[in-house]
Amino acid sequence: MNKDHKVLYSGMQATGNLTLGNYLGALKNWVSLADEYECYYGVMDLHSLTVRQDPAEFRKRARALLTLYIAAGIDPEKNCLYLQSSVPCHAELAWILDCFTYMGELSRMTQFKDKSAKHADNVNAGLFTYPVLMAADILLYQTDVVPVGQDQLQHLEITRDIAQRFNSIYGDVFAIPEPYIGKVGAKIMSLQDPSKKMSKSDENPNASIYLMDDPDTIRRKCKRAITDSEATIAYRDEQPGLKNLFDIYCTCTGKSSDEAVAEFQGQGYGQLKEAVGEAVVGILKPMQDRMAEIAADKSYLDRVIKENAERAYYSANKTLRKVKKKIGLTEMPR
């Protein structure tokens, strides 16, 4: 990892099945960022605990997500890929930052309101303080930039507020992270309702293409995608279902929207859906095969998990020690 580069931090939760939208919108773009940034990508398993998990399945999913990072082409030598729970500094800094965060700030978080409504039988304190743990994740690594979608911008703003508040009291302890401005990943919409994003929690199984879907399932879902009755091949907002299919096709093939529209002029929606299915299979099948290879090599994966956790801990602990010294906690005698 290049210490001369700015630090970029991101991660995903090890719950649910990641979708094509997660891959084309984020993972695919992470691959090349190591040339420009010192990158940390966490498997955010501590965040997942706000919802009850089946322990065996949860462990399996966390390991599978880290495997997927590698299979997607994110080099664990150039990037730090690690399990959040393997670095205890995250939980420790989160508690300290809890004491520098106001109840009013947390109560304004829209994600807390949304998740509370969705999990009304389990509105726990972790759900409320979730943004503070996210702040700790980011601030531990002296992060300069964070790739965020519109739905996560509020969390980055509270992270900046907490860091600035702490720095105003104790000096320049934390870097103040900025939103990542770079190549924007494709925003992939639901195949059944193109007015909303493709989601791993969608109740309609035909709405999302999951990264582990087999080729026949992918083709079938593309054929069932909602379009319109205009029967006109065009890339425009007035035909959102069709536009979404073109976005998927273009992102998978590298073609521009103009090239794709020209390619399918004079053809029906059926031919486009078939081509989209094949394009998606073309990028997901090699990744699925690579994932199976990595998962089968237990010793390699164990080594990656251990070595990357040690690298993450080394960086995180430097920040945590500085924080503890600043606020007056007693250091362990050597």
Taking the C-alpha atoms of residue 279 and residue 285, their distance in angstroms, rounded to an integer, is: 10
The 3-state DSSP class for residue 77 equals coil
Set 78, 187, 200, 326: catalytic member: 200
Q: What is the dihedral of CA 319, 28, 209, 120, to 10 degrees?
A: 20
∠ CA 169-95-43, nearest 5°, is 115
Asked whether the CA dihedral 193, 245, 73, 33 is positive or negative, the reply is negative
The Cβ-side half-sphere exposure at 261, using a 13 Å CA radius, reads 13
Alpha-carbon distance of 20 to 89, in angstroms, equals: 32
Which H/E stretch holds residue 274? Answer: helix 269-296
Maximal C-alpha separation, the chain: 77
The token pair that represents 186 in the structure block: 């494709």
Is residue 197 part of the annotated active site? The answer reads: yes
The residue from 28, 197, 243, 273 that is catalytic is: 197
Q: Has 255 been annotated as catalytic?
A: no
The three-class DSSP label of residue 171 is coil
Could you identify the residue written with the tokens 């399996």?
Answer: 60
200 is catalytic: yes
User: Which among 28, 115, 243, 273 is annotated as catalytic?
Assistant: 115
Alpha-carbon dihedral of residues 36, 19, 283, 74, nearest 10 degrees? 30
Q: Which residues are catalytic?
A: 115, 197, 200
